[in-house]
Amino acid sequence: MPNDGKRKPLHVALEGLGLEVQVVPGISLLDAVRSAGLALDSECGGRGTCGECRVRFLQGTPRPTVEDAALLSQDELDGGWRLACQTFLTADCRIAIPQRVAHARRRKIRILTDAAGLPTTGRPTLSGYGIAVDVGTTTVVCYLMDLARALQLGVASFANPQSAFGPDVISRITYAHRGPAELRELQRRLVSHLDRNFASLCKGAGIAPESVSRVTAVGNMTMMHLLRGVDPWPLGVAPYEPVFLELPPFPAREIGFKRFGGCEMHILPGVGGHVGSDVVAGVMGLDLTRRPGISLYMDLGTNGEVVLCSKKAMAGASCAAGPAFEGVHIHSGMSAFPGAIERVDEEDGRLQLDTIGDADALGLCGSGLVDAVALLLRRGLLLPSGRLVAPQRVPADVPQDLRERVQDDGDGRRFLLSRDGSREDVVVTQRDIREVQLAKAPVRATIDLLLAGAHLKPEAIDDVFVAGGFGSAVRSESLLALGVVPEEVRGRVHSVGNTAGFGAKLALVYPERLEATHRLARQIRHVELVLREDFRQAFAAHIPFPRDGQR
């Protein structure tokens, strides 16, 4: 890039958003867009391999790079499409960001199911106010609580601002490890958002920020490390162990809180590996240790965490499920925002789609994808091996509306979900199905191995609790159809919503529940699976989908 001493700022106009940013020449368009505060997805972390960050140039279109040519069709290149991460700006330009992303920016995040009140498991002994925080990799939720009355006064949620540096924990770990400045930046972004959201919660409830005395925070192991400002690098390389499991409480100002600097901050303890405090809080919140019988707790996302609980022993493991359950790396995939298809069903021989917010279908989130795969399997449009049938091989009993959606455009087989001339078709591709297979196989292998380790058969499980965003949205019927959970637990699968946030609230209000999380974190035995040969075998065995009757 030519650089003659004086760098004149460049102007990047973002069509349709009414935004213009000024940037220094030479920075990537991805960084430029992010500097405008837009969370443009980049699954690959800006390496030019995923194609998520594609944008269309309207003016000042640069020559395509090798990466552009590899991921975009000639029509797309001619139409001005480029990868934002591979475009290093040298001139003013005007770009259009795909509707999916532009839309996502104006999202109102759906709050996961949770009751405003807490069970009266004890008498609150504290007074004043507190805030419980659930730091998700994608979404952060804060609950303002009246400690004396165990009453929720308000909820605030926001997209995790660290998403600009990568959608998953591994890309955040990579970024944080670049240096102390990057680590601090991730921490600062999160904490400043928390500080601001805390303030608006207080304002909404009409209480003074000074009257908030206590904060509990839960999240996966990486989020906990980033919140505390500890380099999570050891979580990113074998044997994938955290730097800390438990922390004593500390004043919130130590991690950069301003208005709420005086609060006593409790980062709840984790179990080990990637099994973090969100899982501990969930298991504590559901009171699984006191439940009779055997229960299985699972949180499904890019990482899947599974805890097997019985009176005798508890064991927990995590596995890399890959991003399919989050709608990432999927052809028409998107996060669970308005416009995402979250349910796919069949009624009177016709396809039924439900989108979040009843908006026009823009894409497909994890639960919609899983539903679609279940439907395809049920109708014989998808073989248990994971191969979509050819259009001419569609079984005779498949209704017309479904039959017409089975396509093979030479580029590969696909199933059409939604077509609206003004935007790209929403489809499930053969490759998407492979991604689902790679996401579900490790989860099921984890369940199998935890059961085997406890000398239990699947039928011994009394209840399965599925937590988390994807877990709340997905139907148990689809989990069974795909073989994510064993057939033997049919009828005993419960979707429990945001149990991590619920546990954080309990630990905030009841000191004995906070104590319980510390006990629990030590009681749950962490099982590391990735090295084990039997895990590899179970993984491979569960890549195909179950055949009818032998799931």
Residues in contact with other proteins by the rule CB under 8 A: 44-45, 47-49, 66-67, 170-171, 173-174, 177, 233, 236-240, 385-387, 412-413, 430-431, 434, 437, 530-531, 536, 539-540, 543-544
Q: Which two tokens stand for residue 487?
A: 């057939």
Toward other proteins, which CB reaches closer, 239 or 251?
A: 239
Residue 409 DSSP symbol: -
Toward other proteins, which CB reaches closer, 131 or 173?
A: 173
Toward other proteins, which CB reaches closer, 286 or 449?
A: 449
Nearest approach in angstroms of CB 403 to other proteins is 21
Nearest approach in angstroms of CB 172 to other proteins is 10
200-203-209-215 Cα dihedral, nearest 10 degrees: -50
Nearest approach in angstroms of CB 226 to other proteins is 14
Nearest approach in angstroms of CB 236 to other proteins is 3
Are the C-beta atoms of 46 and 35 separated by less than 8 Å? Answer: no
Q: Which two tokens stand for residue 109?
A: 């995040």
Nearest approach in angstroms of CB 379 to other proteins is 20
Toward other proteins, which CB reaches closer, 58 or 390?
A: 390
Segment (H or E) for 376: helix 366-378
Backbone φ and ψ for 549, nearest 5 degrees, come out as 85, -10
Nearest approach in angstroms of CB 82 to other proteins is 16
Coil, strand or helix at 454? coil
Toward other proteins, which CB reaches closer, 203 or 547?
A: 547
Toward other proteins, which CB reaches closer, 131 or 235?
A: 235
Of 140, 114, 161, 208, nearest to 505 by C-alpha is 114
Coil, strand or helix at 541? helix
Are the C-beta atoms of 298 and 461 separated by less than 8 Å? Answer: no
What is the gyration radius of the CA atoms in the chain, in angstroms?
24
Backbone φ and ψ for 281, nearest 5 degrees, come out as -65, -40
Nearest approach in angstroms of CB 146 to other proteins is 42
Toward other proteins, which CB reaches closer, 154 or 323?
A: 323
CB atoms within 10 A of CB 378: 14
Q: Order of strands, edge to edge, in the sheet holding 406-408? A: 406-408, 413-420, 423-429
Nearest approach in angstroms of CB 425 to other proteins is 19
Nearest approach in angstroms of CB 166 to other proteins is 8
Toward other proteins, which CB reaches closer, 19 or 530?
A: 530
Q: Buried b vs exposed e over 93-130: b needs ≥16 C-beta within 10 Å?
A: bbbbbbbbbbbbbebebbebebeeebeeeeebebeebb
Q: How far are the Cα atoms of 240, 426, 532 from residue 373, in angstroms, in the given order?
A: 32, 14, 29
Toward other proteins, which CB reaches closer, 456 or 530?
A: 530
Angle 499-509/277-285 helices, nearest 10 degrees?
80
